[in-house]
Structure formats: structure tokens, C-alpha cells
Amino acid sequence: MKFLSTPPQKFTLPKRIARLGALATNLWWAWHPEAARLFGRLDYDLWEQLGHNPIRLLREIDSARLSLIAKDQDYLASYDEVFEKYDSYFQKETWAQKELPEIKDSIAYFSMEYGLHETLPIYSGGLGVLAGDHLKESSDLGLPLIAVGFMYAQGYFSQRISEDGWQEALNKQLTFEDLPVALVTKNNQPVTVEIKFPDRTLSAQIWEVRVGRVPLYLLDSNVPSNSEYDRQLTARLYWSDLDRRIMQEILLGIGGVRALRALGYAPAAWHMNEGHAAFLTLERARELVAEGFAFADAAQRNRAQNIFTTHTPVPAGNDEFPLWLVDKYLANYWGELGLTREEFVQVAAHQQPHGETYSMPILALKLSAKSNGVSALHGEVAREMWSFLWKDQAVKDVPIDHVTNGVHTRNWLARRFNPLLEKYLGADWYERLDERALMEKIDSIPNAELWNLHLHLKRKLAFYLRERVRERWTHGGFHPVQVVSSGVLINPYALTIGFARRFATYKRASLVLSDVERLIQIINRPNLPVQIIFAGKAHPADDPGKQLIQKVYRTVKQAETGGRLVFIEDYDMNLARYLVQGVDVWLNTPRRPYEASGTSGMKAAINGALNFSVLDGWWREAYDGQNGWSIGRDQAYESPEIQDAADAEDLYQTLENEIIPMYYDHDAKEMSQAWIARMKSAMKTVIPQFSTRRMLKQYIEKFYIPAVKSKS
């Protein structure tokens, strides 16, 4: 892997700590908390105020302060330690160099969004965070992955909740100079890609982000040669209007392949994270058609290198376009493939009751050798859902496999766990984190040490929420009731449940509120306080999602909740980190089987939080009776109404009869031994199995290696 851009060097730093500049321009620091802390220690207030942006911090920090720090022995010791790690990370032989000598060419990874850090808001939720974790793990393993996405000029929106609970979306223009992105240039000119539409040409330039060893290339249509409309194309994620949507996907798939070619890459595998990138299959076929192959032959030759991961178990959630839009933007493209319009449409045609549409997942499924869902149950659901494409095969033989998602351990594990795990598992625990036998040693951690660390993280969460409210209150326009609803009354010693995710209706955020009176009784029992922290955004065009937020917010605001139900605005990776590290229980109530996998529960479990969740997605595979609790049964229900009622009743009963009594079953040292045993079970079972380490190795073995072999 190589980096093509020159990161703009724009810091004046004392010589002794000058390497902070290089650290700030590679996101490696974002998943090495001890490196992030080097920035924080320069000036904690400024670091928080700037939202953890090291580039701005280094530019805006007082130079007298920097000179002082450059002489602080304690700081310099940490500095040297971090850079020793940094140098060894980039110099030592990687796992892939040792284990995978056959992978020489790059693996290309395409995704509409990437969640790498809160300062680069080019993600909306789980799909993006998964992609970000995929890149970080690829860097750790030394897999020669290169990635393609979009540099959204405004990023994803920030969320404000009005006094009445209505979500307001704030879109701010990002300042690229403040971000770890560099424009890719050749001979001092931006490298661009072009796509000819029937009536005009669309151009895009390319930004490079360094994710450890992995380069991420982000397309940006905001260039002078484009019309004003086209310049806005990459301003935001997920335009709800289909015209922009198809243009974005054409730019990602077709433009993305052209970008990699312009940068000199010849990938051996092409991985599509969701159907948005499926046009890449056509563009790669077009390259061979230009060399003289017929389309069918070209598509067949490329198939073995195409890999498609689907994430959507709901038919309506899949991307499809009306044919008039296909005509509008691709009428000159099928000719280049040597196809008629009819033949072109047939490749991805989906017969719907309202007529024929052009389906992105069908395009990807038909032109990829390997496809997969993201949990065992989702694999089953996907095989059933797409079985009409393989009419002569039994559903179980539909060629859609599954690889269950994982999370990047170092990115999501609280910094303070590292010394604890080094002490009881060995200094090399991180290299071996997917070894289940090693993780059994978590049992040897003394209960008091684990519990004290957990209490520290709970206090940190409570103080963090308090500071956020103070900040909002100070700036005005915040009603006192909202102050209470935002968590100022949170007790760092009470049983704390987290519920944070996108507010899509299938996630049933209000299931726990289905009997508000009963819930209020449960949380207010003398000496057994329970608090629930809600957070999450709804897509700006999703009114049912916004109404759900409003319903939750209106409940949270009631005085009877005693400040024990709270809603925190603006869920992002930063808030997610505090929550998954600081709560006791992670609640998840999707309507089975619509949660393809879910990942936030994994982040919580590796930090010792106990999942309390519907047996859907990943939790159905992880739950063993000891590492958390289930909600509802592992089966389909007669109707959504029956399902909701049964799940709600089960939720309340388990909370009342098992979770609360166990949490408060304190011994003389104020600890519940049974609870801590469960925390250890959660960590032992989830760290190895639900890591991107295990996940990426499966992608390598099942998909990347066969693709590489088929090429050579």
C-alpha cells in the first residue's frame, strides 16, 4: 500500500514534540487511545471544545503552553512510548505478510459511508462504523486493502431536539483544511474522474485519508467544471431524492473504479459493502468490453473477483431505481457495454407489482461470485428473500453465505482495560485477541479490579453527560425540563441501561415504554434505582422515525420519571464510546428478524456491559444464558402485534425478576459477585468471536483468497 498525497504540513511545533504533526494526519491515533490522550493532555479544555480534532488543536493551541509541555518529563515519557508503538506498527512484519504471501495485489473495498472518528462525519450509523472498523482491522493485519467512498461537504447532520421532542437537523459545511484529508494531485493538478451522462459530464476530485496503513479515497463532486446542481451531489449522505441517489451510486461504482485506475491500482478483489456500489461490476465489465470481449464473457470473467455483502433484510430497504432514471443517466452507457437497453435492464431487473425496476442488490448478486449476509439468521433471511433469482434451486442452496459482523476491539475498548488485560492475559493479548482459550483467562482478573474499573467508567459517563448539558444550558435556548431530560440527575451508582441506535421503526425504541406506568414503578423502587439513557438520530426524511423520537422524548420529560429516563442529543461515535463503555446493560429491541446483525451491543459487551436483547442478528449467536439476557423467543411470531406484546411482557419480567435483583445483590464490599461473573462471561465470549479480527479473517479465507487465486 502506498499513500499518494502529501499531507499538508501546517504546524509550528517545538522540535521535541514535532512528530505530533504526523500523528494528527493519520487516523491511526483514533484507535489508539493512548495516542489520542497525547493530544488531550496538551490542553484538555481546548481538546474537548474542538471535538477531539488534533489538527485544529495543534494549530490553535497557545505556543507558550506547547513550549512548556516540550519540557515536561512525564509528558515526554508518554510521547516516546506512543511513538515507539507507532514506529513499530508501521515497520514490523505484519500478519498478512507472514500468513498471506499470496495476496500481493490490493483488495478494493467500496462503501457509501465510513465511520472512522467523530471529527470526520461521513457516516450515518452501523453500516459506516462497520466499514470504518473493517479498514482499521485491515491496517492492523497488514491486509493490502484500499477503500473508496465519498467526501461529503456537509457530512451527516447534527441533531437537536426541540422542547417538544421534534428532531431538528443542522447541516454545517465542513472545513476540509481542518480534517485529515489531502487532495490527490498529479503535476500539481487535482486527479479527477469523469462520467459522461447523456446531457453532460460529471467530474469528481479525490481526497485521501490515511487509516493506519490503509488509504481511503473519497470522491468529491464539488469542482468548478460541474454545474451547481452537480457540485452539490456529494454534499450529503443519502439524499432522499432518487435523482441524486442514482447519480451518487453511479459516481461511487463507476467513478470509484476509474479513480482507482487513475491512481494506478489493479485490485485482485472488489468488495461491495451494500448494494450502493454495485455499478462497479458494470464498469469492470466495460473495461474488458473495450478490449474486445462480449459483455456476457466480460461479466463472467470478472465475477470471481466480485464480493457483495448485503445488510438489508427488508425488501423495501433495498435500493431500486425507476427505469426512467436509468434512461436519464445511463442511456449512453449500455452502448459502451455492447448491450441494448432491454439487455442492460435485464441484468438488474426486478419485477414489482408497480412495474419493473432496476435493483442494485440484484445487480450485485448476479455479477458477484460471492455474496453474504452479516449474521447466520440474516443469511437465512437473505437466501429466502432472493430465492426467486435462483428458481431451480432449493432455498438452502441459494448462494448467499454469511459472515457475522464484528467490532474493532482497540477502537471500542476503554483505554484503561489495556493494562488490566496485559496484566492478566499477557502483554501480547491484543495480537491474540481472537483466541478463545486466551480469553478464558479473564476469569483470573480479581472481581474488585474489574468492578472498580467499571465504576470509574460509569462515573466518567455521568460527568460527561453533565458537561454536555452545562454547555447547552450556557448557550441558551434550552428549557430547564430539557436540562433534566439530558441526564443531569443521573446517578453514577445506579443500574444504568443504554439504548442508542438509529431511530428506524423496526428497532422499536418505544418497546420498553409500552407500559409507561409499570416502567415508572420499576425505575423508582426505593433503594433499587434504574435509569435508561436513550440516544439516536432518525433519517431527516423519516417522519415515523422522528415521531418515535418525539414519543420517547415526551415520556422522558415527565416529572414522574425522576430524571431517570433521559435522551441525549446527537448520537455519534463519541457519545457511543462513552455509552458502551459506561453503562451496565445494553438494551436492544429490534423486531426479529429485521436486525441484520447489530454491532453496538458487541461494543458494550467487550467493555463488560450485559446485553439484554431480542434473539436477532449477532445476539442470537452470542447469547449463552450466562453473558446477558434474552428478550422474546428464537422464533417467528404470528403477527407484529403479538410479537410486540410478548416481547414487552418478557422485557419487563426479566428486568424486574432477574436483572434488577442481581445488580443490587451486594455483598459486604458493595459488589454483586453474580453480576461480575456475568460481565466476565460477556467479555470472554464476545471479545474473540465478535471482533473484526475474526470477521476479517473469515472474509479473507472465504472470499478474498479465492478471488486472488482466480485472478492469477
Ligand X SMILES: *Cc1c(COP(=O)(O)O)cnc(C)c1O
Give the gyration radius of the chain's Cα atoms: 25
* Residue 497 contacts ligand X per CB under 6 A: no
Q: Please state, in angstroms and as integers, the Cα–Cα distance from residue 240 to each residue in 66, 161, 272, 368, following that order.
A: 46, 21, 21, 27
Residue type, 599: T
* Residue 155 contacts ligand X per CB under 6 A: no
Q: Which stretch binds ligand X (CB under 6 A): 125-133, 145-153, 455-463, 550-558?
A: 125-133
Q: How far is the CB of 102 from ligand X (least distance, A)?
A: 33
Contacts of 290 (CB under 8 A, 6+ apart): 336
* Residue 589 contacts ligand X per CB under 6 A: no
Helix (H, G, I), strand (E, B) or coil at 203: strand
* Residue 159 contacts ligand X per CB under 6 A: no
Taking CB under 6 A as the criterion, which residues in 347-366 touch ligand X? none
Transcribe 336-404 into DSSP letters. Answer: HTT--HHHHHHHHEEEETTEEEEEHHHHHHHH-SEEEESSHHHHHHHHHHTGGGSTTS-GGGSS-EE--
Return the residue of 35, 66, 129, 369 that touches ligand X, per CB under 6 A: 129
Q: How many residues at the interface with ligand X, by CB under 6 A? A: 13
By the 10 Å C-beta count (0-12 exposed, 13-18 middle, 19+ buried), 584 is classed as buried
Round to whole Å and give the CA distance between 610 and 682: 7
Q: How far is the CB of 124 from ligand X (least distance, A)?
A: 8
Q: How far is the CB of 84 from ligand X (least distance, A)?
A: 30
* Residue 122 contacts ligand X per CB under 6 A: no
82-111 mask for ligand X (x: CB under 6 A)?
Answer: ------------------------------
Nearer to ligand X, 539 or 603 (CB): 603
Cell of 5: 498525497
* Residue 267 contacts ligand X per CB under 6 A: no
Pick from 540, 536, 506, 497: which is nearest to 659 by CA?
497
Helix (H, G, I), strand (E, B) or coil at 494: coil
Return the residue of 165, 180, 593, 598 that touches ligand X, per CB under 6 A: 598
Round to whole Å and give the CA distance between 427 and 425: 7
The single-letter DSSP state of residue 643 is H
* Residue 600 contacts ligand X per CB under 6 A: yes
* Residue 540 contacts ligand X per CB under 6 A: no
Q: Which stretch binds ligand X (CB under 6 A): 343-351, 567-575, 639-647, 673-681?
A: 567-575
Taking CB under 6 A as the criterion, which residues in 645-704 touch ligand X? none
Nearer to ligand X, 193 or 573 (CB): 573
Cell of 584: 451496565
Return the residue of 571, 612, 675, 703 that touches ligand X, per CB under 6 A: 571
Q: Which stretch binds ligand X (CB under 6 A): 122-130, 275-283, 286-294, 623-631?
A: 122-130
Nearer to ligand X, 555 or 597 (CB): 597
Helix axes 295-303, 360-367, angle to 10 degrees: 80
Helix (H, G, I), strand (E, B) or coil at 129: helix
Q: How far is the CB of 599 from ligand X (least distance, A)?
A: 5
Return the residue of 112, 445, 523, 576 that touches ligand X, per CB under 6 A: 576
* Residue 572 contacts ligand X per CB under 6 A: yes
Return the residue of 53, 375, 589, 599 that touches ligand X, per CB under 6 A: 599
Taking CB under 6 A as the criterion, which residues in 498-537 touch ligand X? 501
Round to whole Å and give the CA distance between 595 and 462: 29
Taking CB under 6 A as the criterion, which residues in 168-187 touch ligand X? none
Round to whole Å and give the CA distance between 362 and 401: 15
Round to whole Å and give the CA distance between 153 and 156: 9
Nearer to ligand X, 299 or 575 (CB): 575
Asked if residue 366 lies in contact with residue 389, where contact means CB atoms within 8 angstroms, the answer is yes
Q: How far is the CB of 274 from ligand X (least distance, A)?
A: 13
* Residue 125 contacts ligand X per CB under 6 A: yes
Q: How far is the CB of 598 from ligand X (least distance, A)?
A: 4
Which residues bind to ligand X, rule: CB under 6 A?
125-126, 129, 501, 571-573, 576, 598-601, 603
